[in-house]
Amino acid sequence: MKTQLIEYLSKLLTPNRLNLLNRIIEYRTSYITVLLEDIYQSQNASAVLRTCDCFGIQNVHIVENEHLYTINPDVALGSSKWLYLNRYNEKKNNTIDAINHLKNKGYRIVATSPHTNDVPLDDFDITKGKVALLFGSEKPGLSEIALDNADEFLNIPMFGFTESFNISVSASIILHHLTYKLRNSDIDYLLDDTQKKELMLSWLKATIKKSDIIIDEFYKRYTSVLF
C-alpha cells in the first residue's frame, strides 16, 4: 500500500518538483550520521542541519541536556524538513543514551575533538564501518561522558593561531571530506529501496499542503476498492 500511496501523492506534484525529489533521494545516505551534544546557539545548530542536507546526510541525532535545540529559519532555510531529527531529552543527561543507541545500530562513535589518539581528517578510514560524528557545544566542547564513550577521535589539521573552528565550520569541512571519500569508494553507502520509500513518503508529506487530509481520503478510497 505504501507504494500506491507514493504514486498517488506524486501525481499532485509538478513534474519538475517530482524529478527533483527523485534525483536528490539517490544521493541520500545513513552510512554517516551526525550526533550533536547540547548545542545552544541556534545559528550554529541550524547551519549544521543545512550542511547535512547539502551533503546528503539524512539522520541527525540531537542531545538536549541543558539547552533546547532551536532552529533559526533564516539560517536553516527549510533544511530541517528534509532530514530525520532524532532528539534525546528525557533525562538530565542524555548523552550516553544517544551514544548507546547509535552503537547498537552499528555506528562507530567518532568524536571531533583533539585527543592523544586522534587521527587527522585526511587519514581517517571511512571503510571500517558506519560513522557517527560527535560534535560538542560551542564553548565547553564535548562532555567527559561523550569523550569517555567515543570509539575514535578525529581532528582537522590547522595552521593558524586560533585553536579551533566554529562547530558549523567543522561540520562542513568534515562532511565535505568524508562524503567525497564515500562517493569515490566501493562502499554500499546509499539508502536501500525500503529506506527510499520511507523517505520519499516523508518528503511528499512535507511538500504537499494538507497532506494528512489527502492521505486519509486515499485510504478511504483504497479500502472501499478492496472491500
Q: How far is CA 135 from CA 154, 199, 200, in A?
A: 11, 25, 28
Contact between 143 and 37 under an 8 Å Cβ cutoff? The reply is yes
- pLDDT, position 225: 55
Residue 121 in domain? yes
pTM over 0.85, yes/no: yes
Say if residues 111 and 154 touch (Cβ distance below 8 Å): yes
Is 173 a domain residue? yes
pLDDT given at position 201: 97
Secondary structure of 43-89 as H, E, C letters: HHHHHHHHHHHHCCECEEEEECCCCCCCCCHHHHCCHHHHCEEEEEC
Residue 67 belongs to domain with CATH number: 3.40.1280.10
Q: How many domains does the structure of the chain reveal? A: 1
pLDDT confidence of residue 227: 43
The answer to the question of residue 47 being in a domain is yes
Strands 131-135 and 108-112: parallel
Residue 44 lies in a domain: yes
Whether residue 167 lies inside any domain: the answer is yes
Ranges of the chain with pLDDT below 50: 226-227
Does 49 fall in a domain?
yes
- Could you give the 3-state DSSP secondary structure of residue 32? strand
Alpha carbons 127 and 123: distance in angstroms, whole number = 12
pLDDT value of position 2: 86
> Tell me, what's the pLDDT at 226?
47
Q: Is residue 109 part of a domain?
A: yes
Q: Exposure of 19 by Cβ count < 10 A (0-12 exposed, 13-18 middle, 19+ buried)? A: exposed
Segments forming the whole domain that contains residue 133: 29-187
Query: Considering all CA atoms of the chain, what is the largest pairwise distance in Å, rounded to the nearest integer?
Result: 72
